[in-house]
Amino acid sequence: MLLAVDVGNTNITFGVFDGEEIRSQFRLNTQIPRTSDEYGIQIKELLDLNEINKDDLTGAVEASVVPDVLQLLHKAVVRYLGLDPLVVGPGVKSGIQVKTANPSEVGADRIVDLAAAYTIYGGPTLVIDYGTATTYDLVTAAGEFTVGLTAPGIGISAKALWEGTAKLPSIAIEKPDSILARNTITSMQAGLVYGQIGQAEYIITHIKEEMGFDEMKVVATGGLGGIISESTRMIDVYDRELTLKGLKIIYEKNK
């Protein structure tokens, strides 16, 4: 079995693959400070709770946008699980050619998503990842990553809204039944969710036009991606496990 670890700005997502299937998933909060020993103990406990024997794990792969957390987590996996994880970064085969102006600035999570999308769905494909930030990344039919956009995530936008105003409350991020909001809560929900839908449709339309990709596939991922993808015909696929799948694909390429 393979342990795949995605260290994001908000959550650390773990996936355990048994062959091609994801047997189990669990998460830890990235923003809670922990030592490597604490990570190790918690990972072992979560594996036990999910009925995964650590001795059945034969490999591990990690990607991170938080270097300090990755360092501690990596030590934990080595010490407590007895594994030497592959860390996605420069020199690791992904199947994606990074053709942006500054390749070294591209986050590992974006490369992982593109590796999965290109392998599973082909190209040209636009990947929209609804995470802490909302990212739009394009991979061509030749496997080249040439275009990437970054916008505030839905959660960040919501937090800014209620923390930056005196009277607006914190709310659940949900799509209201109608865009015609009639109270404070639904007005905020409508602005956040329908605003994201409009953003996605505008960006998708203009990337297709400027790149000349009439047949471009659009794949969404990330926890809140389901809310957006079910509300527009311009997103073809919602793949919640895209990042974990990408980690496995990259591991296999480098094994």
Query: For the chain, which residues make up each domain, given as ranges?
Result: 2-87, 97-247
Question: Is 109 in the active site?
Answer: yes
pLDDT of 191 > 90? The answer is: yes
Q: What is the mean pLDDT of residues 187-193?
A: 92
Q: How far apart are CA 194 and CA 121, in angstroms?
A: 27
* pLDDT, mean over the chain: 94
Collapsed DSSP state (helix, strand, coil) of residue 40: helix
Q: Is the separation of the CB atoms in 126 and 217 below 8 Å? A: yes
By DSSP bridging, strand 125-130 and strand 237-238 are unpaired
pLDDT of 100 > 90? The answer is: no
Q: What is the mean pLDDT of residues 197-219?
A: 96
User: For residue 49, what are the CA distances in angstroms to 46, 93, 241?
Assistant: 5, 33, 21
Q: How far apart are CA 70 and CA 132, in angstroms?
A: 17
Q: What is the mean pLDDT of residues 57-84?
A: 96
Q: What is the mean pLDDT of residues 38-56?
A: 96
pLDDT at res. 246: 97
Angle at CA of residue 235, ends 180 and 129, nearest 5°: 95
CATH of domain 2-87: 3.30.420.40
Indicate the class that CATH gives domain 97-247.
alpha beta
Q: How far apart are CA 248 and CA 17, in angstroms?
A: 8
Q: Give me the catalytic one of 6, 18, 48, 109.
A: 109
Q: Is the separation of the CB atoms in 56 and 83 below 8 Å? A: no
Topology alike, domains 2-87 and 97-247? yes
